[in-house]
Structure 1
């Protein structure tokens, strides 16, 4: 039976997936499910998945992606602590980004891209054992756009889903190219989730816009 070369390549990569990669993907999916259920266990599960992912990404020489996961780790620890403290404050309303916020977003992408590109070569500069990445620009772009998306997410801006999916869109082929097929599948799942998140946030924003008019009636 003839199989398309890309499909065969994917099957071959699945067969080569290590137990650590499977563990990271399973923990990643579990984290998303727990987050949807609004369960605090999403944080310890997510932290375990991040630590395993960092080890796998370093092995694949994706240093900017590793740096991105350091950020995820810090935010997960903070989020876990925040939930335990039970600080219930009125959430910031969902809104569209202003022109000033768009300028900040673009600066985060450009400065982050340049900084993370340089980060790929940091081990070489400090003379430690180092295997250079063969995709430093691509790797840095994926991480920089994710940083910008997470900044917009923290401010509850609708466009966060756009930036996160730009990152996901480039991450999928990058991870596949690096032989991390299951990581690519997980990112594809996140890409789909982000599309629904974008549409859901628009619906919430529209509902909020109607509330003042309804209250006046």
Structure 2
């Protein structure tokens, strides 16, 4: 991957995570000059992947903030689309809500087999959370471990939801995910404090010891 492509991707991922950043805000995360950041932004805006808005400041020049457009959001992994939702709706209408719940429970069981091979009971809770973040990243969730500076409380966020089209309509996928996290982390003290499907910027979790 060329440096130009990797920088372009880094900018898109930063805007996905932070939702909105200025040129100086982007520069803090990138090893390039503000001029180089601006060149990438001009290209991305020309491709309709990002948009900008100007915010006036009490003092000094107005600041331009950039964010992803709907087209920009579409470049990130999204395993399900409207067709999948329509199929689920048909199943629900013909077989009932229990059939939908069973589908998500089966998915949870398949995922559990993958997670238990990567997250070990003998590890500390912090290690388990970090391993979970790695597994979620491999599945396209754009997960990030958040350092809480607390040895008894841990946090992580997921900035992309590959099943957002389904999670917007059904609560069961989010319920299954939370249940799965509790099982693989070995604690019931797992709380979802923010959810993309409910309008949040990320799916953010807070994890504590038993």
- TM > 0.5 between the two? no
- TM normalised by structure 2 equals 0.27
| Larger proportion of helix | 1
| Larger proportion of strand | 2
Bigger relative contact order, structure 1 or 2, given CA contacts below 8 A and separation 6+?
A: 1
